[in-house]
Amino acid sequence: MKPDAQGWLSGVRRVVSPNHDARPPRTPVELLVIHNISLPPNQYGGNAIERFFTNTLDHAEHPYFEQLKGVRVSSHFLVGRDGQVIQFVPCNKRAWHAGVSTWQGRSRCNDFSVGIELEGSDFEPFTERQYAALARLTRRLKRTYPISDIAGHSDIAPERKTDPGPFFDWERYMAQLK
């Protein structure tokens, strides 16, 4: 996994999302944000997340999807339950993953962060393969970008978000980064 000049990593599947834009000039990537997502909620597999991030989700396919009409979001990466990594937005661009957010007094976390979604929910543990893939991806990103902090979505938007949730094992994840 090595990034090219635009921030696309080799060795990972690429599915291009239109939901991104330019980072502010001279704004380095200093924060990594961990999320969880499952579509429909608490169901895994399939490609609904990919279709959501690429604005091709059929909203009539599931009752939950109706509330996602018009929502335009993305993340830089998704780590599936099997450990497969998909990249949607190059790291040099601003993915739309954090929303209204603040980290250590700085607002607009999308400006200076990379977002990683884990396929999962707040209601069950993540898989061994996900932790291994997340650790590999994090190590690569930290070697490439001046990332000084790692936070959960719940840390940067505590009034709105709970992910990566109570089943995300921060201690285990951090130990794998050493």
β-partners of residue 103 are: 106
Helix %, strand %, coil % for the chain, to 5? Answer: 25, 20, 55
Show the DSSP H helices in the chain as ranges: 48-53, 128-144, 153-156, 170-176
Our answer to whether residue 117 is catalytic in this structure is: yes
Which member of 117, 124, 128, 171 is catalytic?
A: 117
Distances (CA, A) of 103 to 1, 31, 63, 124: 28, 9, 34, 26
Enzyme catalytic residues:
117
